[in-house]
Chain A
Amino acid sequence: MNDVLDVALRLIVVFAVFLVLPLVVGQTEHKVMAHMQGRLGPMYAGGFHGWAQLVADGVKFAQKEDVVPAGADRRIFQLAPAVALLPYLLVLLAIPIGPGEGAVGQVIDAGVFFVLAVMGVGVLGSLMAGWASANKFSLLGGLRTAAQLLAYELPMLLAAASVAMAAGTVSLPGIVEAFEWWWLPWQIVGALVFFTAGLAELQRPPFDMPVADSEIIFGAYTEYTGLRFALFLLAEYAGIVVLCFLTTVLFLGGWHGPLGAEGLGWVWTLLKTAVLAFVVIWLRVSYPRLREDQLQKLAWTALIPLALAQIALTGIVKVAIQ
Protein backbone atom coordinates (compact mmCIF):
# COMPACT_ATOMS: atom_id res chain seq x y z
CA MET A 1 0.00 0.00 0.00
CA ASN A 2 2.82 2.34 0.90
CA ASP A 3 4.40 1.82 -2.52
CA VAL A 4 1.18 2.67 -4.30
CA LEU A 5 0.83 5.82 -2.20
CA ASP A 6 4.42 6.77 -2.98
CA VAL A 7 3.95 6.34 -6.72
CA ALA A 8 0.66 8.24 -6.67
CA LEU A 9 2.23 11.08 -4.72
CA ARG A 10 5.12 11.35 -7.18
CA LEU A 11 2.75 11.34 -10.14
CA ILE A 12 0.63 14.07 -8.57
CA VAL A 13 3.67 16.24 -7.86
CA VAL A 14 5.03 15.82 -11.40
CA PHE A 15 1.59 16.58 -12.83
CA ALA A 16 1.32 19.72 -10.70
CA VAL A 17 4.76 20.87 -11.88
CA PHE A 18 3.67 20.11 -15.43
CA LEU A 19 0.62 22.33 -15.04
CA VAL A 20 2.17 25.19 -13.08
CA LEU A 21 5.65 25.79 -14.51
CA PRO A 22 4.58 26.29 -18.16
CA LEU A 23 2.07 28.89 -16.98
CA VAL A 24 4.77 30.63 -14.94
CA VAL A 25 7.04 30.68 -17.99
CA GLY A 26 4.18 31.99 -20.11
CA GLN A 27 3.40 34.80 -17.70
CA THR A 28 7.10 35.66 -17.41
CA GLU A 29 7.23 35.81 -21.18
CA HIS A 30 4.34 38.28 -21.24
CA LYS A 31 6.01 40.57 -18.75
CA VAL A 32 9.64 40.23 -19.87
CA MET A 33 8.74 40.79 -23.52
CA ALA A 34 6.64 43.79 -22.58
CA HIS A 35 9.40 45.42 -20.57
CA MET A 36 12.03 44.70 -23.21
CA GLN A 37 9.77 46.41 -25.74
CA GLY A 38 9.11 49.42 -23.50
CA ARG A 39 5.51 48.64 -22.51
CA LEU A 40 3.80 47.20 -19.46
CA GLY A 41 2.17 44.01 -20.67
CA PRO A 42 -0.98 42.63 -19.02
CA MET A 43 -1.85 44.73 -15.96
CA TYR A 44 -5.52 44.16 -15.12
CA ALA A 45 -6.41 40.49 -14.76
CA GLY A 46 -6.02 39.45 -11.13
CA GLY A 47 -5.11 42.91 -9.92
CA PHE A 48 -1.37 42.72 -9.21
CA HIS A 49 0.54 43.24 -12.48
CA GLY A 50 -1.89 41.04 -14.37
CA TRP A 51 -0.77 37.81 -12.73
CA ALA A 52 -4.02 36.04 -13.66
CA GLN A 53 -3.79 36.87 -17.36
CA LEU A 54 -3.06 33.28 -18.41
CA VAL A 55 -5.82 31.90 -16.19
CA ALA A 56 -8.20 34.30 -17.92
CA ASP A 57 -6.79 33.17 -21.28
CA GLY A 58 -7.45 29.58 -20.27
CA VAL A 59 -11.06 30.38 -19.40
CA LYS A 60 -11.42 32.12 -22.76
CA PHE A 61 -10.00 29.12 -24.64
CA ALA A 62 -12.32 26.74 -22.78
CA GLN A 63 -15.36 28.78 -23.81
CA LYS A 64 -14.50 28.88 -27.50
CA GLU A 65 -16.15 26.54 -29.96
CA ASP A 66 -14.12 23.49 -30.87
CA VAL A 67 -14.15 23.59 -34.67
CA VAL A 68 -13.02 20.72 -36.89
CA PRO A 69 -12.76 21.73 -40.57
CA ALA A 70 -15.13 19.86 -42.90
CA GLY A 71 -12.34 18.49 -45.08
CA ALA A 72 -10.14 17.43 -42.18
CA ASP A 73 -9.33 13.91 -41.09
CA ARG A 74 -11.44 14.14 -37.96
CA ARG A 75 -9.90 11.62 -35.64
CA ILE A 76 -6.26 12.45 -36.31
CA PHE A 77 -7.06 16.16 -36.15
CA GLN A 78 -8.53 15.68 -32.68
CA LEU A 79 -5.80 13.33 -31.48
CA ALA A 80 -2.86 15.54 -32.50
CA PRO A 81 -2.80 17.96 -29.49
CA ALA A 82 -2.60 15.04 -27.05
CA VAL A 83 0.29 13.49 -28.99
CA ALA A 84 2.08 16.83 -28.91
CA LEU A 85 1.58 17.39 -25.18
CA LEU A 86 1.88 14.01 -23.44
CA PRO A 87 5.57 13.29 -24.25
CA TYR A 88 6.64 16.35 -22.25
CA LEU A 89 4.71 15.07 -19.24
CA LEU A 90 6.52 11.73 -19.54
CA VAL A 91 9.89 13.47 -19.84
CA LEU A 92 9.27 15.49 -16.68
CA LEU A 93 8.93 12.19 -14.81
CA ALA A 94 12.58 11.37 -15.43
CA ILE A 95 14.19 14.70 -14.56
CA PRO A 96 15.93 14.86 -11.17
CA ILE A 97 15.72 18.22 -9.42
CA GLY A 98 17.67 17.27 -6.31
CA PRO A 99 20.00 14.55 -5.04
CA GLY A 100 18.58 11.25 -3.90
CA GLU A 101 15.60 9.11 -4.82
CA GLY A 102 13.11 11.57 -3.40
CA ALA A 103 13.67 14.33 -5.93
CA VAL A 104 12.93 12.52 -9.17
CA GLY A 105 9.66 11.11 -10.46
CA GLN A 106 11.18 7.84 -11.62
CA VAL A 107 14.84 6.85 -11.88
CA ILE A 108 15.40 5.51 -15.38
CA ASP A 109 18.56 3.59 -16.17
CA ALA A 110 19.01 5.01 -19.67
CA GLY A 111 17.62 8.42 -18.75
CA VAL A 112 19.30 10.47 -21.48
CA PHE A 113 18.00 8.13 -24.16
CA PHE A 114 14.53 8.05 -22.65
CA VAL A 115 14.29 11.82 -22.47
CA LEU A 116 15.52 12.51 -26.00
CA ALA A 117 13.50 9.66 -27.50
CA VAL A 118 10.25 10.75 -25.93
CA MET A 119 10.83 14.42 -26.77
CA GLY A 120 11.24 13.44 -30.41
CA VAL A 121 7.85 11.72 -30.37
CA GLY A 122 6.13 15.02 -29.49
CA VAL A 123 6.84 16.33 -32.96
CA LEU A 124 4.55 13.64 -34.38
CA GLY A 125 1.70 15.73 -32.94
CA SER A 126 2.64 18.72 -35.11
CA LEU A 127 3.00 16.50 -38.16
CA MET A 128 -0.40 14.91 -37.57
CA ALA A 129 -1.95 18.34 -37.07
CA GLY A 130 -0.33 19.69 -40.22
CA TRP A 131 -1.50 16.83 -42.38
CA ALA A 132 -4.98 16.28 -40.94
CA SER A 133 -6.06 19.93 -41.17
CA ALA A 134 -6.59 19.70 -44.95
CA ASN A 135 -5.05 23.14 -45.30
CA LYS A 136 -2.10 24.09 -47.48
CA PHE A 137 -0.58 26.36 -44.86
CA SER A 138 -0.88 23.64 -42.26
CA LEU A 139 0.76 21.11 -44.57
CA LEU A 140 3.64 23.50 -45.26
CA GLY A 141 4.01 24.05 -41.53
CA GLY A 142 4.05 20.30 -40.95
CA LEU A 143 6.70 19.83 -43.64
CA ARG A 144 8.88 22.52 -42.14
CA THR A 145 8.45 20.98 -38.70
CA ALA A 146 9.59 17.59 -39.99
CA ALA A 147 12.57 19.05 -41.85
CA GLN A 148 13.58 20.99 -38.76
CA LEU A 149 13.31 17.97 -36.48
CA LEU A 150 15.37 15.81 -38.83
CA ALA A 151 18.09 18.44 -38.95
CA TYR A 152 18.27 19.31 -35.26
CA GLU A 153 17.73 15.93 -33.61
CA LEU A 154 21.24 14.83 -34.57
CA PRO A 155 23.28 17.68 -32.99
CA MET A 156 21.11 17.43 -29.88
CA LEU A 157 21.84 13.72 -29.53
CA LEU A 158 25.55 14.18 -30.19
CA ALA A 159 25.82 16.94 -27.58
CA ALA A 160 24.01 14.78 -25.03
CA ALA A 161 26.26 11.85 -25.92
CA SER A 162 29.29 14.00 -25.13
CA VAL A 163 28.06 14.59 -21.58
CA ALA A 164 27.21 10.93 -21.18
CA MET A 165 30.78 10.10 -22.21
CA ALA A 166 32.19 12.59 -19.73
CA ALA A 167 30.10 11.22 -16.88
CA GLY A 168 30.47 7.58 -17.89
CA THR A 169 26.75 6.97 -17.45
CA VAL A 170 23.51 7.62 -19.30
CA SER A 171 21.39 8.00 -16.19
CA LEU A 172 20.34 11.58 -15.52
CA PRO A 173 20.92 11.54 -11.73
CA GLY A 174 24.23 9.77 -12.41
CA ILE A 175 25.36 12.53 -14.75
CA VAL A 176 24.60 15.26 -12.21
CA GLU A 177 26.24 13.18 -9.50
CA ALA A 178 29.46 13.03 -11.53
CA PHE A 179 29.45 16.74 -12.36
CA GLU A 180 32.48 18.86 -11.42
CA TRP A 181 32.72 22.61 -11.88
CA TRP A 182 35.39 22.35 -14.59
CA TRP A 183 32.96 20.49 -16.81
CA LEU A 184 31.44 23.86 -17.55
CA PRO A 185 34.31 25.16 -19.74
CA TRP A 186 34.98 21.61 -20.97
CA GLN A 187 31.42 21.03 -22.23
CA ILE A 188 30.47 24.60 -23.08
CA VAL A 189 30.32 23.99 -26.84
CA GLY A 190 28.13 20.96 -26.32
CA ALA A 191 25.87 22.96 -24.01
CA LEU A 192 25.40 25.71 -26.59
CA VAL A 193 24.73 23.18 -29.35
CA PHE A 194 22.24 21.30 -27.15
CA PHE A 195 20.38 24.44 -26.13
CA THR A 196 20.24 25.82 -29.68
CA ALA A 197 19.09 22.52 -31.15
CA GLY A 198 16.51 22.21 -28.40
CA LEU A 199 15.15 25.66 -29.20
CA ALA A 200 14.90 24.66 -32.84
CA GLU A 201 13.12 21.44 -31.95
CA LEU A 202 10.57 23.44 -29.95
CA GLN A 203 10.16 25.82 -32.89
CA ARG A 204 10.85 28.79 -30.69
CA PRO A 205 12.06 32.06 -32.23
CA PRO A 206 14.47 32.56 -33.94
CA PHE A 207 13.74 29.04 -35.21
CA ASP A 208 9.98 29.49 -35.64
CA MET A 209 9.89 29.04 -39.39
CA PRO A 210 7.26 26.25 -39.10
CA VAL A 211 4.79 28.68 -37.52
CA ALA A 212 5.94 31.84 -39.33
CA ASP A 213 2.81 33.96 -39.01
CA SER A 214 3.68 36.33 -41.84
CA GLU A 215 4.00 33.49 -44.36
CA ILE A 216 1.90 30.51 -43.37
CA ILE A 217 -0.45 31.98 -40.73
CA PHE A 218 0.30 29.60 -37.85
CA GLY A 219 1.71 26.57 -39.60
CA ALA A 220 0.35 23.24 -38.45
CA TYR A 221 -1.92 24.87 -35.85
CA THR A 222 -3.74 27.21 -38.24
CA GLU A 223 -7.06 25.36 -38.12
CA TYR A 224 -7.16 24.79 -34.36
CA THR A 225 -9.43 26.68 -31.99
CA GLY A 226 -10.35 26.65 -28.34
CA LEU A 227 -8.94 24.06 -25.99
CA ARG A 228 -7.04 22.07 -28.60
CA PHE A 229 -5.17 25.18 -29.65
CA ALA A 230 -4.48 25.92 -25.99
CA LEU A 231 -3.05 22.41 -25.62
CA PHE A 232 -0.59 23.08 -28.45
CA LEU A 233 0.46 26.33 -26.76
CA LEU A 234 0.81 24.48 -23.46
CA ALA A 235 2.99 21.90 -25.24
CA GLU A 236 5.29 24.68 -26.43
CA TYR A 237 5.71 26.09 -22.93
CA ALA A 238 6.04 22.65 -21.35
CA GLY A 239 8.75 22.10 -23.97
CA ILE A 240 10.60 25.20 -22.79
CA VAL A 241 10.44 23.96 -19.20
CA VAL A 242 11.70 20.51 -20.20
CA LEU A 243 14.50 21.89 -22.36
CA CYS A 244 15.71 24.25 -19.61
CA PHE A 245 15.57 21.44 -17.03
CA LEU A 246 17.52 19.15 -19.33
CA THR A 247 20.20 21.72 -20.10
CA THR A 248 20.51 22.38 -16.38
CA VAL A 249 20.78 18.71 -15.53
CA LEU A 250 23.13 17.74 -18.35
CA PHE A 251 25.43 20.74 -18.61
CA LEU A 252 25.01 23.11 -15.67
CA GLY A 253 25.38 20.66 -12.83
CA GLY A 254 21.76 20.47 -11.70
CA TRP A 255 21.63 20.65 -7.92
CA HIS A 256 25.32 21.54 -7.43
CA GLY A 257 25.90 25.14 -6.46
CA PRO A 258 28.73 27.29 -5.06
CA LEU A 259 27.12 27.61 -1.65
CA GLY A 260 24.65 24.79 -1.30
CA ALA A 261 23.35 23.82 2.11
CA GLU A 262 22.28 20.19 2.41
CA GLY A 263 18.77 19.72 1.10
CA LEU A 264 18.65 22.95 -0.86
CA GLY A 265 19.87 21.42 -4.13
CA TRP A 266 16.45 21.74 -5.73
CA VAL A 267 16.64 25.53 -5.30
CA TRP A 268 19.75 25.57 -7.49
CA THR A 269 18.08 23.41 -10.14
CA LEU A 270 15.04 25.67 -10.26
CA LEU A 271 17.19 28.81 -10.27
CA LYS A 272 19.30 27.65 -13.21
CA THR A 273 16.18 26.51 -15.05
CA ALA A 274 14.56 29.91 -14.49
CA VAL A 275 17.63 31.74 -15.83
CA LEU A 276 17.62 29.53 -18.95
CA ALA A 277 13.90 30.12 -19.46
CA PHE A 278 14.61 33.84 -19.27
CA VAL A 279 17.28 33.40 -21.96
CA VAL A 280 14.73 31.59 -24.15
CA ILE A 281 12.38 34.56 -23.88
CA TRP A 282 15.24 37.02 -24.38
CA LEU A 283 16.25 35.29 -27.62
CA ARG A 284 12.69 35.51 -28.86
CA VAL A 285 12.67 39.27 -28.40
CA SER A 286 16.17 39.91 -29.79
CA TYR A 287 16.60 37.81 -32.93
CA PRO A 288 14.84 37.92 -36.29
CA ARG A 289 13.47 34.67 -37.68
CA LEU A 290 15.86 32.48 -39.63
CA ARG A 291 14.90 31.64 -43.20
CA GLU A 292 14.26 27.97 -44.03
CA ASP A 293 17.55 27.49 -45.90
CA GLN A 294 19.47 29.33 -43.18
CA LEU A 295 17.88 27.02 -40.62
CA GLN A 296 19.05 23.91 -42.43
CA LYS A 297 22.47 25.39 -43.10
CA LEU A 298 22.98 26.26 -39.43
CA ALA A 299 22.17 22.72 -38.38
CA TRP A 300 24.19 20.81 -40.95
CA THR A 301 27.23 23.07 -41.37
CA ALA A 302 27.61 24.59 -37.91
CA LEU A 303 25.94 22.61 -35.15
CA ILE A 304 26.77 19.07 -36.25
CA PRO A 305 30.51 19.74 -36.83
CA LEU A 306 30.63 21.59 -33.50
CA ALA A 307 28.94 18.68 -31.73
CA LEU A 308 31.35 16.20 -33.33
CA ALA A 309 34.33 18.37 -32.30
CA GLN A 310 32.93 18.44 -28.75
CA ILE A 311 32.72 14.65 -28.72
CA ALA A 312 36.33 14.40 -29.91
CA LEU A 313 37.42 16.86 -27.21
CA THR A 314 35.47 14.96 -24.57
CA GLY A 315 37.10 11.72 -25.63
CA ILE A 316 40.62 13.17 -25.59
CA VAL A 317 40.23 14.80 -22.17
CA LYS A 318 38.55 11.71 -20.78
CA VAL A 319 41.45 9.50 -21.87
CA ALA A 320 44.01 12.05 -20.68
CA ILE A 321 42.65 12.33 -17.14
CA GLN A 322 42.33 8.59 -16.61
Chain B
Amino acid sequence: MTPAATVAAAATNGPGFLSPTGVEIAFLLVGLATFGAALVTVTTKQLVHAALWLVVALGGIAVEYLLLTAEFIAWVQVLIYLGSVIVLLLFGLMLTKAPIGRSPDADSGNRWIALGVAVVAAASLVWVVVDAFRTTWIDLDGPVQGSTKVSGEILFQHWVLPFEALSVLLLAALIGAIVLSRRNDPADARDKGKR
Protein backbone atom coordinates (compact mmCIF):
# COMPACT_ATOMS: atom_id res chain seq x y z
CA MET B 1 0.00 0.00 0.00
CA THR B 2 2.71 2.44 0.93
CA PRO B 3 5.78 1.39 -0.98
CA ALA B 4 7.78 4.50 -0.10
CA ALA B 5 7.09 4.08 3.60
CA THR B 6 7.79 0.40 3.87
CA VAL B 7 11.33 0.07 4.96
CA ALA B 8 13.28 -1.27 2.07
CA ALA B 9 16.02 -3.64 2.95
CA ALA B 10 18.08 -5.50 0.47
CA ALA B 11 16.91 -9.03 -0.14
CA THR B 12 20.26 -10.40 0.77
CA ASN B 13 20.22 -9.27 4.38
CA GLY B 14 16.44 -9.29 4.94
CA PRO B 15 14.88 -11.72 7.39
CA GLY B 16 14.10 -15.19 6.11
CA PHE B 17 10.97 -17.31 6.18
CA LEU B 18 12.35 -20.10 8.27
CA SER B 19 11.90 -18.71 11.77
CA PRO B 20 8.52 -16.99 11.76
CA THR B 21 7.69 -14.49 14.49
CA GLY B 22 4.41 -14.41 16.39
CA VAL B 23 3.00 -11.71 14.14
CA GLU B 24 3.84 -13.70 11.02
CA ILE B 25 2.11 -16.79 12.39
CA ALA B 26 -0.94 -14.70 13.34
CA PHE B 27 -0.93 -13.17 9.86
CA LEU B 28 -0.92 -16.61 8.29
CA LEU B 29 -3.71 -17.95 10.54
CA VAL B 30 -5.94 -14.91 9.99
CA GLY B 31 -5.25 -15.24 6.28
CA LEU B 32 -6.39 -18.86 6.32
CA ALA B 33 -9.54 -17.94 8.25
CA THR B 34 -10.26 -15.13 5.80
CA PHE B 35 -9.75 -17.48 2.86
CA GLY B 36 -12.08 -20.03 4.44
CA ALA B 37 -14.77 -17.44 5.06
CA ALA B 38 -14.45 -16.24 1.47
CA LEU B 39 -14.84 -19.81 0.20
CA VAL B 40 -17.98 -20.32 2.30
CA THR B 41 -19.30 -16.99 1.00
CA VAL B 42 -19.32 -18.22 -2.57
CA THR B 43 -20.32 -21.81 -1.89
CA THR B 44 -23.11 -21.49 0.70
CA LYS B 45 -26.63 -21.98 -0.62
CA GLN B 46 -28.13 -19.47 1.80
CA LEU B 47 -28.11 -15.95 0.46
CA VAL B 48 -28.00 -13.99 3.70
CA HIS B 49 -25.42 -16.38 5.15
CA ALA B 50 -23.23 -15.57 2.18
CA ALA B 51 -23.47 -11.86 2.99
CA LEU B 52 -22.66 -12.53 6.65
CA TRP B 53 -19.67 -14.72 5.77
CA LEU B 54 -18.52 -11.86 3.60
CA VAL B 55 -18.51 -9.78 6.80
CA VAL B 56 -16.08 -12.30 8.32
CA ALA B 57 -13.87 -12.28 5.22
CA LEU B 58 -13.73 -8.48 5.01
CA GLY B 59 -13.14 -8.23 8.75
CA GLY B 60 -10.29 -10.71 8.40
CA ILE B 61 -8.70 -8.47 5.78
CA ALA B 62 -9.00 -5.54 8.20
CA VAL B 63 -7.15 -7.60 10.82
CA GLU B 64 -4.44 -8.37 8.26
CA TYR B 65 -4.01 -4.64 7.61
CA LEU B 66 -3.70 -4.11 11.36
CA LEU B 67 -1.03 -6.80 11.61
CA LEU B 68 0.87 -5.06 8.81
CA THR B 69 0.68 -1.84 10.94
CA ALA B 70 -1.58 -0.13 8.37
CA GLU B 71 -3.93 1.08 11.06
CA PHE B 72 -5.68 3.78 9.05
CA ILE B 73 -6.44 1.47 6.12
CA ALA B 74 -7.78 -1.12 8.54
CA TRP B 75 -10.34 1.24 10.09
CA VAL B 76 -11.35 2.57 6.69
CA GLN B 77 -11.88 -1.03 5.60
CA VAL B 78 -14.18 -1.59 8.58
CA LEU B 79 -15.99 1.71 8.03
CA ILE B 80 -16.60 1.33 4.30
CA TYR B 81 -16.97 -2.40 3.81
CA LEU B 82 -18.42 -3.69 7.07
CA GLY B 83 -20.37 -0.59 7.97
CA SER B 84 -21.73 0.48 4.62
CA VAL B 85 -21.29 -2.00 1.78
CA ILE B 86 -22.56 -4.97 3.76
CA VAL B 87 -25.49 -2.97 5.12
CA LEU B 88 -26.35 -1.96 1.56
CA LEU B 89 -26.05 -5.58 0.45
CA LEU B 90 -28.29 -6.85 3.25
CA PHE B 91 -30.74 -4.04 2.55
CA GLY B 92 -30.89 -5.09 -1.10
CA LEU B 93 -31.33 -8.76 -0.15
CA MET B 94 -34.12 -7.97 2.30
CA LEU B 95 -35.89 -5.77 -0.26
CA THR B 96 -35.82 -8.41 -2.96
CA LYS B 97 -35.70 -12.06 -1.95
CA ALA B 98 -33.99 -13.51 1.07
CA PRO B 99 -35.75 -16.64 2.24
CA ILE B 100 -34.62 -18.38 5.40
CA GLY B 101 -33.01 -21.65 4.42
CA ARG B 102 -31.53 -22.76 1.13
CA SER B 103 -32.29 -21.15 -2.18
CA PRO B 104 -31.24 -23.71 -4.81
CA ASP B 105 -32.19 -21.39 -7.68
CA ALA B 106 -29.48 -18.96 -6.61
CA ASP B 107 -26.81 -21.08 -8.31
CA SER B 108 -25.54 -19.87 -11.61
CA GLY B 109 -24.57 -22.04 -14.56
CA ASN B 110 -21.47 -19.94 -15.00
CA ARG B 111 -19.80 -21.18 -11.88
CA TRP B 112 -16.91 -22.98 -13.60
CA ILE B 113 -16.17 -19.96 -15.78
CA ALA B 114 -16.39 -17.78 -12.66
CA LEU B 115 -13.96 -20.07 -10.88
CA GLY B 116 -11.55 -19.85 -13.81
CA VAL B 117 -11.71 -16.06 -13.90
CA ALA B 118 -11.23 -15.91 -10.12
CA VAL B 119 -8.20 -18.19 -10.20
CA VAL B 120 -6.60 -16.26 -13.06
CA ALA B 121 -7.26 -12.92 -11.36
CA ALA B 122 -5.89 -14.19 -8.04
CA ALA B 123 -2.82 -15.68 -9.71
CA SER B 124 -1.98 -12.49 -11.59
CA LEU B 125 -2.51 -10.36 -8.47
CA VAL B 126 -0.35 -12.63 -6.33
CA TRP B 127 2.34 -12.65 -9.01
CA VAL B 128 2.33 -8.86 -9.34
CA VAL B 129 2.43 -8.29 -5.58
CA VAL B 130 5.14 -10.87 -4.98
CA ASP B 131 7.21 -9.51 -7.83
CA ALA B 132 6.82 -5.89 -6.72
CA PHE B 133 7.51 -6.36 -3.02
CA ARG B 134 9.95 -9.25 -3.16
CA THR B 135 12.74 -7.37 -1.47
CA THR B 136 10.66 -5.18 0.79
CA TRP B 137 10.33 -5.89 4.48
CA ILE B 138 8.12 -4.14 6.98
CA ASP B 139 9.86 -3.42 10.25
CA LEU B 140 7.16 -4.31 12.76
CA ASP B 141 9.18 -3.14 15.76
CA GLY B 142 10.04 0.28 14.39
CA PRO B 143 7.77 3.32 14.12
CA VAL B 144 4.30 2.68 12.69
CA GLN B 145 4.44 2.95 8.93
CA GLY B 146 0.74 2.90 8.13
CA SER B 147 -0.42 5.65 10.46
CA THR B 148 -2.85 8.30 9.27
CA LYS B 149 -0.06 10.86 8.94
CA VAL B 150 2.12 8.66 6.75
CA SER B 151 -0.80 7.44 4.62
CA GLY B 152 -2.05 10.99 4.15
CA GLU B 153 1.34 12.35 3.15
CA ILE B 154 1.92 9.60 0.62
CA LEU B 155 -1.60 9.80 -0.77
CA PHE B 156 -1.61 13.57 -1.22
CA GLN B 157 2.01 14.03 -2.28
CA HIS B 158 2.97 11.05 -4.42
CA TRP B 159 -0.40 9.70 -5.52
CA VAL B 160 -2.52 12.81 -5.76
CA LEU B 161 -3.21 12.47 -9.50
CA PRO B 162 -4.59 8.90 -9.36
CA PHE B 163 -6.56 9.96 -6.30
CA GLU B 164 -8.19 12.84 -8.17
CA ALA B 165 -8.80 10.65 -11.22
CA LEU B 166 -10.54 8.11 -9.02
CA SER B 167 -12.76 10.74 -7.47
CA VAL B 168 -13.76 11.95 -10.95
CA LEU B 169 -14.57 8.34 -11.85
CA LEU B 170 -16.75 8.00 -8.75
CA LEU B 171 -18.47 11.28 -9.54
CA ALA B 172 -19.23 10.02 -13.03
CA ALA B 173 -20.68 6.81 -11.57
CA LEU B 174 -22.79 8.85 -9.16
CA ILE B 175 -24.20 11.04 -11.91
CA GLY B 176 -24.77 7.97 -14.06
CA ALA B 177 -26.78 6.33 -11.29
CA ILE B 178 -28.93 9.44 -10.91
CA VAL B 179 -29.52 9.67 -14.66
CA LEU B 180 -30.44 5.99 -14.89
CA SER B 181 -32.85 6.15 -11.98
CA ARG B 182 -34.53 9.32 -13.22
CA ARG B 183 -34.95 8.25 -16.85
CA ASN B 184 -38.59 8.70 -17.76
CA ASP B 185 -40.09 5.88 -19.73
CA PRO B 186 -42.74 7.27 -22.13
CA ALA B 187 -45.08 4.41 -21.16
CA ASP B 188 -44.56 5.19 -17.51
CA ALA B 189 -45.36 8.84 -18.01
CA ARG B 190 -48.62 7.96 -19.80
CA ASP B 191 -49.58 5.67 -16.91
CA LYS B 192 -49.00 8.45 -14.44
CA GLY B 193 -51.04 10.85 -16.55
CA LYS B 194 -54.02 8.51 -16.45
CA ARG B 195 -54.09 8.31 -12.69
Contacts and interface: CB of A to CB of B under 8 A. Distances in A.
A311 interface: no
B148 A131 contact: no
Given A76-B52, A139-B94, A142-B94, A109 B71 contact: yes
29 contacts: A73-B100, A76-B49, A110-B71, A110-B75, A110-B147, A110-B148, A113-B148, A117-B76, A117-B79, A117-B83, A118-B78, A120-B79, A120-B83, A120-B84, A120-B87, A121-B83, A123-B83, A123-B87, A124-B82, A131-B93, A131-B98, A134-B100, A142-B94, A143-B94, A146-B88, A146-B90, A147-B91, A149-B87, A150-B84
Given A73-B100, A131-B94, A113 B72 contact: yes
B138 interface: no
B40 to A, nearest CB: 13
A127 B88 CA distance: 11
Instruction: Tell me if A's interface is mostly helix, strand, loop or mixed.
Output: helix
A251 B90 CA distance: 33
A130 B87 CA distance: 13
B37 interface: no
Given A109-B72, A120-B83, A150 B91 contact: yes
Interface of A: 71-73, 76, 108-110, 113-114, 116-118, 120-121, 123-124, 127-128, 130-132, 134, 139, 142-143, 146-147, 149-150, 153, 157, 170
A109 B69 CA distance: 11
A121 B49 CA distance: 16
Given A109-B71, A150-B87, 13 more contacts: A76-B48, A76-B49, A109-B144, A109-B148, A110-B71, A110-B147, A118-B78, A120-B79, A120-B87, A124-B87, A124-B90, A142-B94, A146-B88
The SS class assigned to the B binding surface is helix
B178 interface: no
A173 to B, nearest CB: 14
B155 interface: no
Interface residues of B, number: 27
Given A120-B83, A132-B100, A143-B95, A113 B75 contact: yes
Contacts of B83: 116-117, 120-121, 123, 153
